[in-house]
Amino acid sequence: MTLSDQGDVTTAHQNIVDGIDGAMDGVEPDRARDTAPGPTGAHPANAARKSGDRVRSLASRYALLGVWILMAGLYAVMMPHKFVNVSTFQAIFGSQSALLFLAVSALCTFVVGEFDLSFASVMGLSATIIPVLSTLHHVNLFLACLVSLGVALCCGVLNAVFIVKLGVPSLIVTLGTASLFLGIAELISSSTIVSVSNKTFTKMALHNVLGLPLSFYYGLILCAGFAYVLAWMPIGRHIVFVGANREVARLAGISVDRIRAGSYIVASLVAGLAGILLVATVGGFDPTASSSYLLPALAAVFLGTAIVMPGQFNPMGTFLGIYFLETGILGLQLLGYTGWVQDAFYGAGLVLAVTVACVVRSRTRTA
């Protein structure tokens, strides 16, 4: 190897290292600042500046919580007898578990820089298969749930093949497969609502624990587990690297295509679980209603980028975003605004969330 070749290799290696460092800076800027060693006997002005930076960091991370508290306080003042009671608390935190699972399904692709519009239709197909098999064809309910998960897995594989293997744009593929899955759901159900009645199945979702149904704790465990994987497991670090900079991750030896394909498959599986949870909660599903879940899930995911880890898609932010939106909608409904208010609130929330995420991300990059 000549000296010039050695110089080229060294330069390439340094570029990879610099790129990884840059991705790390974008992923965890606050942790890097917090763990950086500081000089002993620091000047009081430096200490004050660091204290101010920490306050601003906390404010940017949890500002949405302050808005949530103010909104809840406003509703409490305007209608103390309607809003301030146990039933309102249960309505907010006990009725959104299926939507939370669906939002996490969308999050699975967003964290790796992909895009999926079919997750709501996958949930709808899964939720349709269970009562159709169980009620119309007398299949064991547990087996029907396994079949619905298997179909959801096939949906994810189909998306992965077209997007990752064949290189078709994800927006086109998932828009098409969303319509395909919706059509299949309408076909097998004959475009009618099919219900299922099983007390044990319902109890698995609605059994009350500390005033809330079990389904709430399923969603909490799902989000906490996802956050743990992203923060502490090697596969999670790889996922974050791919989402931060795909080319740098590939040069660093990470199997980018495998992670991209896996994100679509896992997203569809989680959407299948959302379908099972939805059927267990309400006892059936109307396949034509699948598209109505798309906007709320996207609004919660993007709103989650404004909290916990500003500018980044994160599970706990999505968890809080779901219940923030539900608090706002329920309060408006209690005030007498019905019908249009849900779509309007979710639409405005999505636009506001995307705007906040873009502003926070741009400020993080320039900091």
- Residue 334 predicted with pLDDT over 60: yes
Q: What is the pLDDT of residue 50?
A: 62
Q: If you average pLDDT over residues 130-145, what whole number do you get?
A: 89
Phi-psi region of 2 (alpha: psi -120 to 50; beta: other; left: phi over 0): beta
pLDDT higher than threshold 80 for residue 223? yes
Query: What is the rounded average pLDDT of the residues 42-70?
Result: 65
Given this model, what pLDDT does residue 143 score? 94
> pLDDT at position 43, please?
59
Would you place residue 103 in the very low, low, confident or very high pLDDT band (cuts 50, 70, 90)? Answer: very high
**Between 59 and 151, the higher pLDDT residue:** 151
Residue 47 reports pLDDT greater than 90 = no
Residue linked to tokens 């080319």: 247
- From residue 107, alpha-carbon distances to 182, 241, 253, 346 in Å are 21, 15, 24, 17
> What is the mean predicted confidence (pLDDT) over 126-141?
89
What was the pLDDT predicted at 51?
Answer: 60
Can you give the pLDDT at residue 192? 75
Instruction: Give pTM, 2 decimals.
Output: 0.80
Q: Give the distance between the most distant pair of CA atoms in the chain.
A: 82
pLDDT in tens, 230-289: 999 999 899 988 988 888 888 888 899 999 999 999 999 999 999 999 999 888 888 888
Per mean pLDDT, which range of 90-94, 96-100, 144-148, 361-365 is the poorest?
361-365
Q: Which of 296, 291, 360 has its CA nearest to residue 324?
A: 296
Q: Is the pLDDT of residue 23 over 50?
A: no
Chain centre distance of CA 354: 14
Helix axes 256-282, 119-131, angle to 10 degrees: 40
Q: Using CA of residue 108, residue 114, residue 120, residue 121, what is the dihedral sign?
A: negative
Residue 19 has pLDDT above 50, yes or no: no
CA gyration radius, the chain: 23
Q: What tens digit of pLDDT does each residue of 338-362 get?
A: 777 777 877 777 777 667 666 665 6
Q: How do residues 264-280 score in pLDDT, each as one tens digit?
A: 999 999 999 999 999 99
* Per-residue pLDDT band at 363 (split at 50, 70, 90): low
Whether the per-residue pLDDT at 193 is higher than 80: the answer is no
Give CA–CA dist 157/162, Å, rounded: 9
Distance from C-alpha of 43 to C-alpha of 54, rounded to nearest angstrom: 17
